[in-house]
Structure 1
Amino acid sequence: MTQTKIDLPPAFPDHTQLPESDGTFVKNFQEHPQSLILTDSIGSVLQQLHPDGDYAIGQDCGIYWRETEPPEKGAEAPDWFYVPNVPPLLNGEIRRSYVLWRELMAPMIALEFASGNGDEERDATPLSVSAEGETTKPGKFWVYERIIRIPYYGIFEVKTRKMEVYNWLNFSYQKLQPNERGHYPITPLGVELGLWHGTYQNQTQYWLRWWDSEGNLLLIGEERAQLERQRAEQERQRAEQERQRAEQERQRAEQERQRAEQEHQRAEQAEQKSARLAERLRAMGIDPDSEE
């Protein structure tokens, strides 16, 4: 009996077999510093949430959600995203992309830094198939909402300083309203997302930043170091002031001792003078103790 050979379909590719870039340029000079300031400042929060270190942060990295030809058509690359409960390395190798059909874990939050008016980031065009069987590339918003289902999606228009945050609820994105501080709570992380005006990497402008649930800004490493330097300087100044107070107290005590010593000497001198006077009076036949 002759066995029939069965041709199995090839296995789904992983992150080492898929392109890590679609060849496009970074859209503006703020994009990479913006990603860095977000990653740096939220590190301590993620370490508390993941003491085992199982989380990954992607910065302008592809999320592959379907197989296509060319492969890049089946990927979206958020400017910044965070995935909980996945290892930062795969089999000891640095991730080149995030392959959804291999990981089976959607990012919790994705952020886009729009150089234009945000139309691309809000594009909800669905995936469609032509009569010839060709598919069109769907909009980014539609992919995040309907396929990957990222719980939180934020859009920051760099030029207009406008930001929007969406929450995936009841199978669709609902636009969130900011709180009284103008921030958007990201409840699973216990943080808030908002805009901060300041200088970072020689650029003074508005940046996306994290705050804690009480409205305290989460600091980056440079800010933490500067704060520590300020605290150390304040402690040095307090110690110096305490040393000066102690020295002043020592000087006051020394002055008081000297005054007491001078008073004691004056008393001794007065007593000695009185004794000499009494001795002379006795020599003259006068009793100095007589009341007459």
Structure 2
Amino acid sequence: MLLKYNPRQCLPSAEDLPDSDDTPVDNELQDLIPGLLKAILALIWSQRMDWFFGVDMGIYSHPEEDAIVPDGFLSLGVPRIIDSDLRLSYVLWEEKEVPLLVLEVVSQTRRGEYSHKKQDYAQLGILYYAIYNPLRKRKPRLEVYQLEAGEYQLLEGEPVWLAKINLGIGKEQGTYQGITREWLYWYDEQGKRYLTPEETISATQQQLQSTENRALVAEKQLKQERQRAKRLEALLREAGIDLDDN
């Protein structure tokens, strides 16, 4: 979604605005879960420079209003890197693109994830809103909504396919930074989960080790074949057959 602002207005830049609301996260997962999603994107979209994933970063839609600070958000059609100082905040009148996806990770301290934040994101025109609540036991822990006619409608299935992003999002058990628990991941259209950077490194190391093992086995087999050939040659010579005469 493209926003329009009057270019003749003297609007503040990202450098002029607070980069967050200074509210500390009250659960490590509020940083780790979006951080993992960002790390996977950096791997699978390593050749793309038209996306940005913010973690605990303020989104400004109006110069006179406070920023909205989701745990994570994804924008497409914007530069991945602004300059060497990177982004301080996400200012809509500079970026000119509303994020396509916002993510909230619910903790014991509720922050309106199911109420006023949903309304705020709908008013901004953010297409997808994902809420992950690891504390839930009976209701679904991951809910993903899509904006339709100004209201969010719950999307069915898991992983949930996000057509405008061309990725699915879902949850499953895994290990990240040495922590084994349920995490959020990206998926392809067939429902196959994309590997994390740690898993990619491990898979590459295993592949290299397997290649080295095959090379060692082949070298051993070649050595055994040479030894058999020498023994056969010795037996033939003992039998009076000189191979050099052939």
TM range (shorter): 0.7 to 0.9
Partner of residue 5, structure 2: none
Letter in 1 for 2:192: N
Name the counterpart of 2:97.
Answer: 105
Q: How does 1:115-126 map to 2 (within 5 A)?
A: 115-116=107-108, 120-123=112-115
Q: 1:86 aligns with which of 57, 70, 78?
A: 78
Match of 2:57 in 1: 61
Matched, 1:245 2:224: no
Deviates most, 223-232 or 246-255: 246-255
Deviation >6 Å, runs of 4+: none
Q: Which residue of 1 aligns with 2:154?
A: 175
Residues 130-188 of structure 1, C-alpha deviation per residue, up to 9 Å, x if partnerless? xxxxxxxxx1101111x21111111000223700001123332221011xxx3111223
Sort the Cα spacing of 1:196 and 1:27 in 2 relative to 1 into closer, same or farther, 3 A. same
TM-score, length basis structure 2: 0.85
Quick check: 1:141 aligned with 2:118?
yes
> Matched residues in 1 for 2:84 and 2:215: separation?
49
Contact 2:56 2:71 in 1 (8 A): yes
Matched residues in 1 for 2:90 and 2:111: separation? 24
Greater relative contact order (CA < 8 Å, ≥ 6 in sequence)? 2
Specify the alignment match of 2:198 in structure 1.
222
Per-residue deviation, residues 70-92 of structure 1 (Å, max 9, x unmatched): x42xx211111111121244466
CA contact (8 A) 2:172 2:183 kept: yes
- Residue 61 of structure 1 and its aligned partner are, at CA, apart by 0.6
**Other-structure match for 1:275:** none
Cα distance in 2 for partners of 1:41, 1:32 equals 14
SS of 2:74's partner is: strand
Amino acid of the structure 2 residue aligned with 1:222:
E
Tell whether 2:246 aligns with 1:254.
no
Preserved contact between residue 118 and residue 157 of structure 1 (Cα < 8 Å): no
| Mapping 1:247-286, distance limit 5 Å | 247-264=223-240
Which one is further off, 235-244 or 251-260? 251-260
Aligned counterpart in structure 2 of residue 211 of structure 1, from 168, 171, 187 = 187
Q: Distance in 1 between matches of 2:89 and 2:109?
A: 27
2:26–2:109 contact (8 Å) kept in structure 1: no
What RMSD, in angstroms, separates the aligned Cα atoms of the two structures?
2.4
The aligned residue for residue 270 of structure 1 is: none
Amino acid of the residue matched to residue 164 of structure 1? E
Q: Secondary structure at the match of 1:218?
A: coil
In percent, how many aligned pairs have the same letter? 30
1:201 and 1:257 mapped to 2: Cα distance?
A: 59
Q: 1:34 to 1:54 in 2, by over 3 A?
A: same
Q: What TM-score do the two structures reach when normalised by structure 1?
A: 0.72
Secondary structure, aligned partner of 2:41:
helix
Residue 151 (structure 1) aligned with residue 127 (structure 2): yes
For the residues of structure 1 that align with 2:148 and 2:102, how far apart are their CA atoms? Answer: 16
Work out whether residues 130 and 145 of structure 2, in 8 Å CA contact, stay in contact via their aligned partners in 1.
Answer: yes
Structure number with larger C-alpha Rg:
1
Indicate conservation of the 8 Å contact 1:88/1:95, yes or no.
no
